[in-house]
Amino acid sequence: MIVPFGHVLIFAGILFLLGMFCAVSRRNLIMIVLGIEIMLNSASLLFVASALRWQNMEGQAFVLFVLAVAATEVSVGLAIIVYAYKRTGSFDPSNFNLLK
């Protein structure tokens, strides 16, 4: 392994925090979904790195599952967003407060 495992850990952590920040702070539904995707990717990256670190294939298998889940999540999420846009005419998450 050329890249030290610690570096991968730090990189994945930063990526995760960036995704989290994006998901929490942006006032746009699409950007929230994007932030969640980035967080998933950082987790996947960590799985791959650990699989390499401990010479174990289960990590890579998990990543395949995560990719599948991410794909479905994006398709369902975008569908919801499109529907929401049709209802309210904007992407602002503060419009969706019927459960308040």
* Subset of residues 30 to 69 that bind other proteins, contact rule: CB under 8 A: 32
Q: Which of 7, 25, 82, 85 binds other proteins (CB under 8 A)?
A: 25
- Residue 18 near other proteins by CB under 8 A: no
Number of residues in contact with other proteins, rule: CB under 8 A?
A: 11
Q: Which of 9, 15, 18, 20 binds other proteins (CB under 8 A)?
A: 20
CA distance 29 to 85: 10
**Residue 55 CB: number of other CB atoms within 10 A?**
8
Contact letters (x/-) for other proteins, 76-95, by CB under 8 A?
A: -----------------xx-
Pick from 5, 17, 18, 74: nearest CA to 46? 5
The smaller minimum CB distance to other proteins, of residues 32 and 49, is found at 32
Residue 63 backbone zone (phi > 0: left; psi -120 to 50: alpha; other: beta): alpha
